[in-house]
């Protein structure tokens, strides 16, 4: 496990590279795309475990913090979907350059799944895993509320993270049913609840030519709940589904 900073010096991103363990190294790497706000906190341990399991299967794996989150530089109030897209593009290039892999798979949870799908048209992307995806961006704002910052100015925040008006507008406009994808995209939709929105997303992706695998493993998918951070979720069975899919599908 190798923590490091990458990207522009003025906007450095924090990442953790998990190189393959053992003698076998795959030609494809994996970039993990975190969820947003309090969901990031609850998913951290699950992402660490997923990274370790993938590295044990021969994958170079990179998990990273978006600009304005975690240990990366930047301010949360400056975040935008375009900025998150750019962060992911930088992470993809970093893993390809540093690890020498031919292509990458993207594994995104919640809003991270939406960001992963938005990057699927990049030539370096071999496929995507959409884990409990935010299908309509406005759903990400459930639980957001008005507050006052340190200067007394009114802000909208979610889980203690300020959300700029620009990011709010981006989220209201986000709809995975309209996100462009390449034909023959390899895609796993892995969910903890057999909800109509997930089935609808699979139908849309299939109509547009994607090769979709749908796996529902009922379990605790309460990523957005505001509670003790010690109750971080580690859905073991669903993580195993993701690892098994990548073992079979990725080079």
CATH of the domain at 102: 3.40.50.1820
For residue 145, name the pLDDT band (cuts at 50, 70, 90). confident
For residue 153, name the pLDDT band (cuts at 50, 70, 90). low
Residues 32-58: what's their mean pLDDT?
94
pLDDT at res. 88: 98
Placement of tokens 């959409």 in the chain? 130
CA nearest 60: which of 48, 49, 70, 52? 52
Residues 2-28: what's their mean pLDDT?
91
pLDDT exceeds 70 at position 152? no
Beta strands at 145-148 and 154-158: parallel, antiparallel or unpaired:
antiparallel
pLDDT at res. 232: 66
Domain that residue 87 falls in: 2-249
Residues 8-15: what's their mean pLDDT?
90
Tokens of 7: 């990207």
Provide the number of structural domains found in the chain. 1
Least confident interval from 72-86, 168-182, 211-225, 231-245: 211-225
Rounded CA separation 225/237 (Å): 21
Q: How far is CA 235 from the centre of its chain?
A: 16
Rounded CA separation 52/224 (Å): 24
Beta-bridged to residue 162, according to DSSP, are 157
pTM: 0.93
């Amino acid at each position: 496990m190798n923590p490091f900073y990458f990207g522009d010096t003025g906007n450095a991103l924090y990442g953790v590279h998990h190189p393959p363990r053992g003698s076998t190294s795959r030609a494809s790497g994996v970039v993990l795309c975190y969820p947003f706000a309090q969901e990031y906190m609850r998913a951290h341990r699950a992402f660490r475990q997923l990274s370790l399991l993938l590295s044990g299967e021969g994958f170079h794996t990179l998990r990273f913090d978006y600009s304005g989150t975690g240990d990366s530089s930047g301010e949360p109030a400056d975040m935008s979907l375009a900025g998150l897209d750019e962060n992911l593009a930088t992470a993809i290039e970093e893993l390809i350059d540093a690890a020498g892999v031919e292509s990458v798979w993207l594994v995104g949870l919640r809003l991270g799944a939406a960001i992963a799908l938005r990057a699927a048209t990049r030539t370096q992307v071999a496929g995507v895993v959409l884990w409990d995806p935010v299908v309509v961006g406005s759903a990400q704002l459930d639980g957001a509320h008005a507050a006052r910052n340190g200067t007394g100015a009114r802000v909208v925040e979610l889980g203690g993270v300020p959300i700029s008006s620009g990011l709010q507008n981006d989220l209201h406009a986000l709809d995975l049913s309209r996100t462009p994808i390449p034909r023959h995209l390899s895609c796993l939709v892995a969910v903890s609840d057999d909800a109509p929105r997930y089935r609808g997303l699979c139908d849309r992706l299939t109509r547009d030519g994607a090769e979709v695998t749908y796996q529902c493993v009922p379990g605790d998918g309460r990523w957005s709940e505001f509670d003790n951070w010690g109750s971080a979720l580690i859905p073991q069975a669903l993580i195993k589904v993701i690892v098994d899919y990548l073992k079979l599908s990725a080079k």
